[in-house]
Structure 1
Amino acid sequence: MARRPGLHWKVRPYMTARGRTSSRNPLLVHTLVSTGDRYDPVLAASLAPASRSLYEQARRMCSVAELSAACGLPLGLTRLLINDLLKIGQLVVHDARSSQDLALLERLRAGLLRLT
């Protein structure tokens, strides 16, 4: 089994998600999230490794797909963990209208290419 940076090699994604497979608020791959001004190093230290990795990467605004690729996590698990962080108010979802920016679309494309 290939080792991925976001998960310990013995921990399966469904174990990290505690058996959950979907969330009430589905996130699209191009949805932009970040910590905004809310980054908390104490909280980061208390999070599980996969959630901590996502939280650290979200210090800069990026898409769900970029977070998934950067952390080496499956997209479904990334969505679940982002929703967990949204529920406790530690991440911010940004306005989707800004996704018309050409530079952002290029970053999204590059992130999707890293997934393949």
Structure 2
Amino acid sequence: MVLDSRYGSGCMFCIYTRILMNWRFTQTIRGIQGAMIISGSFQMVMGFLGLWRNAARFLSPLCGVPCVTFTGLGLYHLGFPMLASAVEVGLPALISMVFISQASIMILNP
């Protein structure tokens, strides 16, 4: 890239970099959004057609439990700081999640 000297020392480069970073961020977010829409649609189709039941039959607890555990532990460092940053929303959500999980055990297994 050629810097134009009449705008000062690298001013055009700064503007170009800012525009490029904004465009790159927008494209990255759009790509992530599209991937989430496609994966969510795939999961809905698998659930509604009953295909997940056939796939889950081949998973033993020795295969499923570590997968779920490591996924949860891998996302812990992302979710808990966000929960702590918005205490007004995060604390009631955490309390209600614990209450519902404990109450569902008592309701489903009397």
- The TM-score, its normalising length taken from structure 1, stands at 0.25
Larger radius of gyration: 2
Structure with the larger strand share: 1
Structure with the larger helix share: 2
Which of structures 1 and 2 has the larger relative contact order (alpha carbons within 8 angstroms, sep 6+)?
1
